[in-house]
């Protein structure tokens, strides 16, 4: 029996057995599941014509291939995080990356750089233009030539000021059929919401009143993927991004894109199939392109987006930020260890995207089931003491619950549950060292590189809690503080760059290298990585407390015939019967391979 997504073994015609025929075959299979009543052959060809107008450029992708190594580090940034008077912000961003990070990172995730009406870019007015306040496509192309370019594909919703929605309100094509509508009589009681606004928005149209679905805000109107013509428009947008050098696609809020009243409207089967379809459409044209799903949902549901290694190449490790912050606050890695032991190793061709700070806050949904409500409440309370804010979400059936903590990660590391202390920088670097050593690709927010503090002025100006962690730096001022080696910003930047520059030379830190959790007590979070050729082992040992910790080297089971060195400090360990003495928040990457790449 032939399963969905498999190529028929009995296809022997040498003319038909080509990349383009295989491309068509896979696309039709996806379409049969998403749109049962569609003419799948004709529609599949229309998608192929968009993505691969020259059939000779279509290439069959290799399966289970890792398109990444330990050298891959992504920086997350807005296009205007750095500002220079008289210069397009995207040009300033490239200058900064070339000057300070050329040998440290190789990928840049530019958050939505298109014209928008709200949500700092995630309410897109025009998918095909660069926001003129940032620059133009030539600036995007220049960044793509120097770094792997990661871009958001924001397709759950678009702006209420978009051309499509203006057409919807006028009752004209094509936009009049591009938005998902419901009625107040529909059962929406089970719908999972990340926000507290009313789900349905009443809009007057020439056909009468209609209620449009708004998952996030009334300015962000949800698109209707039940309409295949909308899908075709989205595919045109994907092709445009590929042509401008995008090689990593972040599928923003993808879990919400298919709606069926009476259900949770979250991660429905059609949603997963659309992800599979987008992967197929992209990888036959650009075999090394990567799809990353952004699904801020409980851990088990998030893992489902790997599919059978045929959906996302990578998924955001959303549980890591709240668990790691909690571990640092409590000086206990109990929950972090339990979670880590439960995480399945990513199969070849898939991996995790690890992050602990982003343009959004510290999501709390991914901590549900991993931390108690009381522990989450204590963490929220302490983050508020450190200057943070809390965003809420609506619960099915009524009520609200904390959805995310809005705070600069540097400020989140001010202290422990006992209050602020003097270990902020050390704690901050320790947290990043843990992330850098874990299985997966690290993504580091630009404001983590810079040790940026809470921006309460921005919150007052915008009225949005998330603005607290979206500071815009005057680039000349930034240069001056980075040049001052005694400044907090310089110390953080140099400390992070040192960790990264060590990390990218270690084969045992390949995103798919073996990983095992070590049990050295709750005060020391430790794990073992081994390179895929088994020549290098690294013991990542992290003191997550503000107290000295002593670990007998015999507890780590080091091979006595090897020489061991801490990659971070360069200290040699020849007496394997001695003790490992860890200062507060000290990190040791103990390896047996001295001649690393």
Closest CA to 156 of 211, 242, 230, 262: 230
464 annotated as a binding-site residue: no
- Answer yes or no: 49 catalytic: no
* Backbone φ, ψ for residue 305 (5° rounding): -80, -5
398 half-sphere exposure, CB direction, 13 A CA radius: 0
* E runs forming strands in 184-329: 200-205, 208-213, 220-222, 246-252, 290-293, 314-316
360 annotated as a binding-site residue: yes
Give start and end residues of each alpha helix (H) in 244-317: 269-283, 299-303
Beta-carbon contacts of 345 under 8 Å, excluding residues fewer than 6 positions away, are: 439, 512, 514, 515
119 annotated as a binding-site residue: yes
Among residues 252, 522, 562, 575, the one annotated as catalytic is 252
The Cα–Cα gap between 372 and 369 comes to 7
The Cα–Cα gap between 175 and 212 comes to 13
Q: Which helix (H) or strand (E) holds 377?
A: helix 373-385
250 annotated as a binding-site residue: yes
| Tokens encoding 10 | 């009995």
Q: How far is CA 154 from CA 122, 124, 159, 293, 460, in A?
A: 7, 8, 10, 11, 27
505 annotated as a binding-site residue: no
393 annotated as a binding-site residue: no
109 annotated as a binding-site residue: no
The Cα–Cα gap between 335 and 367 comes to 10
Distance of CA 265 to the CA centre of its chain: 22
418 annotated as a binding-site residue: no
**Residues identified as active-site:** 252
Which residues make up each annotated binding site?
119, 157, 250-252, 359-360, 466
Which residues make up each annotated binding site for substrate?
119, 157, 250-252, 359-360, 466
């Amino acid at each position: 029996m032939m399963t969905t997504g498999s190529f028929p073994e009995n296809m022997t015609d040498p003319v038909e057995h080509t990349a383009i025929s295989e491309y068509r075959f896979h696309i039709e299979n996806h379409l049969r599941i998403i749109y049962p009543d569609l003419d799948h052959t004709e529609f599949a060809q229309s998608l192929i014509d968009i993505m691969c107008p020259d059939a000779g450029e279509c290439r069959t992708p290799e399966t289970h291939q890792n398109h990444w190594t330990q050298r891959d580090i992504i920086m997350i940034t807005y296009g205007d995080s750095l500002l220079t008077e008289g210069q397009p912000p995207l040009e300033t961003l490239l200058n900064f990356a070339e000057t300070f990070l050329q040998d440290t990172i190789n990928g840049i995730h530019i958050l939505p750089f298109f014209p928008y009406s709200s949500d700092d870019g995630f309410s897109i007015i025009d998918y095909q233009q660069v926001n003129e306040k940032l620059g133009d496509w030539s600036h995007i192309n220049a960044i793509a030539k120097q770094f792997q370019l990661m871009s958001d594909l924001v397709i759950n919703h678009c702006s209420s000021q978009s051309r499509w929605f203006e057409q919807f309100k006028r009752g004209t094509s094509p936009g009049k059929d591009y938005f998902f509508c419901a009625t107040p009589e529909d059962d929406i009681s089970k719908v999972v919401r990340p926000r507290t606004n009313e789900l349905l928005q009443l809009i007057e149209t020439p056909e009468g009143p209609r209620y449009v679905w708004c998952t996030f805000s009334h300015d962000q109107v949800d698109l209707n993927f039940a309409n295949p013509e909308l899908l075709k428009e989205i595919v045109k947008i994907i092709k445009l991004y590929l042509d401008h050098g995008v090689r990593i696609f972040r599928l923003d809020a993808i879990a919400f894109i298919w709606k069926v009243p009476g259900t949770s409207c979250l991660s429905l089967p059609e949603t997963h199939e659309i992800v599979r379809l987008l992967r197929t459409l992209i990888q036959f044209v650009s075999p090394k392109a990567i799809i990353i799903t952004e699904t801020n949902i409980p851990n088990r549901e998030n893992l489902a987006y790997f599919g059978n290694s045929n959906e996302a190449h990578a998924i955001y490790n959303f549980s890591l930020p709240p668990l790691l912050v909690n571990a640092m606050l409590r000086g206990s890695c109990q929950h972090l260890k339990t979670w880590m032991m439960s995480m399945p190793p990513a199969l070849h061709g898939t991996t995790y995207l690890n992050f602990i700070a982003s343009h959004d806050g510290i999501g709390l949904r991914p901590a549900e089931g991993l931390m108690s409500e009381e522990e989450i409440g204590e963490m929220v309370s302490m983050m508020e003491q450190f200057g943070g804010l809390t965003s809420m979400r609506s619960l099915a059936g009524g009520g609200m619950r904390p959805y995310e903590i809005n705070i600069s990660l540097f400020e989140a590391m001010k202290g422990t549950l006992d209050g602020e202390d003097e270990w902020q920088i050390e704690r901050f670097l320790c947290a990043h060292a843990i992330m850098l050593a874990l299985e997966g690709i690290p993504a580091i927010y630009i404001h983590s590189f810079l040790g940026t503090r809470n921006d309460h002025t921005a919150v007052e100006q915008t009225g949005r809690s998330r603005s607290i962690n979206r500071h815009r730096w005057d680039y000349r001022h930034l240069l001056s503080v980075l040049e001052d080696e005694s400044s907090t910003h310089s110390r953080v930047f140099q400390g992070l760059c040192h960790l990264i520059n060590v990390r990218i030379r270690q084969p045992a830190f390949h995103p798919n290298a073996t990983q095992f959790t070590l049990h050295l007590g709750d005060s020391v979070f430790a794990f073992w990585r081994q390179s895929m050729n088994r020549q290098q082992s690294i013991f990542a040992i992290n003191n997550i407390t503000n107290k000295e910790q002593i670990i007998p080297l015999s507890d780590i089971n080091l091979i006595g015939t090897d020489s061991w060195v801490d990659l971070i400090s360069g200290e040699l360990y020849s007496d394997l019967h001695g003790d490992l003495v860890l200062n507060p928040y000290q990190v040791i990457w103990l390896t047996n391979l001295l001649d690393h790449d």
